Amino acid sequence: MIPFNKPFIVGKELDCIAQAVASGKISGNGPFTKKCQSFFETHYGFTRCLLTTSGTDALEMAAILADIQPGDEVIMPSFTFVSTALAFVRQGAVIVFADSCEDNPNLDADRIEPLITSRTKAIVPVHYAGVACDMGKIMTLAAKYSLLVIADSAHAVDAYYTGTLPDAQFPWQQRLKKEGDRYPLGGIGHLGCFSFHETKNIQCGEGGMLAINDPRFIRRAEIIWEKGTNRAEYFRGEVHKYEWVDVGSSFLPSGITAAFLWAQLEELRKIQDKRVLLWEGYWKGLKPLAEKGLFSLPHIPAYATNNAHMFYLVCRSHEERGQLMDALAAKGIQTATHYQSLHDSTYYRHKHKGPTLVNCKRYVNCLVRLPMFYELELAQVRSIVAAVKRFYA
C-alpha cells in the first residue's frame, strides 16, 4: 500500500522536545517558540511572526485584527477549506465567494473587482497547492479600494510570487525581497496565515503561524495572542504588570509543539528539495498523457514558484475520477479528492447570492490528489505513473 500522506519525522524532534522540557519552559512563548518565529522573520523577511495552535487560529486572529464587524463583506474563493471562511463568519462577516481560475484552483483575480461594494472589508486569497495567486492584481485592487489582504498561506511555506507588486502603497513589502524580485507567500498582504498540520510540507502535528506584515497590527496581535493581555510587553520589561486590555484567546502552542516544529525547520531545505524531486517525477511521467487531453496537470503561472506541496490531476468528468481512484486503490495506491465548495455547503448555500462558480464546481468534481510525502520514493512515483497510464490505456 502506498498511502496518500505520511508525516515526515526528521529524527531530531525528540531531542528538541527533551531540551524544551529541560529548560523548564514548556508553555507558550518559550525558547523554541522564539526560535521558530525568528526563523521566519529572518529567512523570509516577515515583519513579525506569532506561532499559533493551528492555521485556523491564525485565521481567527487575522479576522479579529481586521476588525471585521457584522455585515462586513469578505471576498474569498469557494474552493478552500472551511477554516478560511469560518474565521470571518464568527465575526459576523458576509462571505462573498469568487470563482477559481480556469487553469488552476486559485482565486481568479480578474473576478474580484465586480464583487467589491461599499461594505467590502477584505480579500482573502488562498495559495492553493503552494502556488501563488496573482498578488500583483490583488494588491492593486486593495490599494484602489482601501481593502485589507489576508493571505491564507496554509499550503505555501517556502513558496514565492515572482511578479510585480505596488510597493508604493505597501512599503513594508520592500523587506521581503530576499532573492531578486521573489516575494515569499504569506508576506504579501497585511497578514499571512500558515498551517503546520501533519499534511503540510513542514509539520508539527497541529500548528500554525500568523505573519503580521503591516506594523500597525503588531501590538494588538500580541495582545490577542496572549488572551487579551499585554503579557508579552511585561515579559520584555516594557510594563511593570500585565492586565486584560482587549479581546483575545489562548492562541499560543506549547513549547513541546514549538520544539517539534523547530526540528523540522532545521531540515527545511532537505525536505523541500526531496518534495520537488518527487513532484517533477510525476510531471515528467504524466505529461505525455496530459498532452493527449486525458486530464490536466497542475498549472504553475509565470508569476509563481512551486513548493511541491501536492500533486493533482483534473480529470475530464466526475465519473472518470471515481473510476481512476478505484483503479489505483485496486493497485494499493491511496488517493484523495479535495474541498467541497463552501458556497454550496449545507451551512452556507442559502446565504450565497453570488454568481455560479463554474470552475470551482469542476475542481470539486474532477480533481484527484496523488500521494505526496517526503518518504515517498521515485520508484514509487514511477509505479503510480505506470498505474495511471494503464488505466488510460
> Which ranges constitute the DSSP H helices of the chain?
13-23, 31-44, 55-65, 82-89, 135-145, 218-225, 231-235, 255-265, 268-291, 318-330, 358-366, 378-392
Q: Which three cell numbers stand for residue 57?
A: 487560529
Quote the longest CA-to-CA distance of the chain.
73
pLDDT tens digits for 44-62? Answer: 999 999 999 999 999 999 9
Higher pLDDT, 177 or 23: 23
pLDDT at 236: 87
pLDDT at position 168 over 70: no
What's the rounded mean pLDDT across residues 288-315?
A: 98
CB 324 within 8 A of CB 368: yes
Q: Average pLDDT of the chain?
A: 95
User: pLDDT tens, 26-35?
Assistant: 998 999 999 9
Dihedral sign of CA atoms 320, 326, 330, 331 in order:
positive
Is 268-392 in CATH node 3.40.50.300? no
What pLDDT band is residue 92 in, cutting at 50, 70 and 90? very high
Q: How confident is the model at residue 377 (pLDDT cuts 50, 70, 90)?
A: very high
What's the confidence (pLDDT) of residue 283?
98
Q: Which CATH architecture has domain 13-265?
A: 3-Layer(aba) Sandwich (3.40)
Question: pLDDT confidence of 234, banded at 50, 70, 90?
Answer: confident
pLDDT at position 310? 98
Mean pLDDT of the region 359-386: 98
Q: Please tell me what DSSP assigns to residue 214.
A: S
Q: What is the pLDDT of residues 15-27, one digit of tens each?
A: 999 999 999 889 9
The whole-number pLDDT of residue 232 equals 87
Domain residue ranges in the chain? 13-265, 268-392
Decide: residue 185, CB within 10 A, 0-12 exposed, 13-18 middle, 19+ buried.
buried
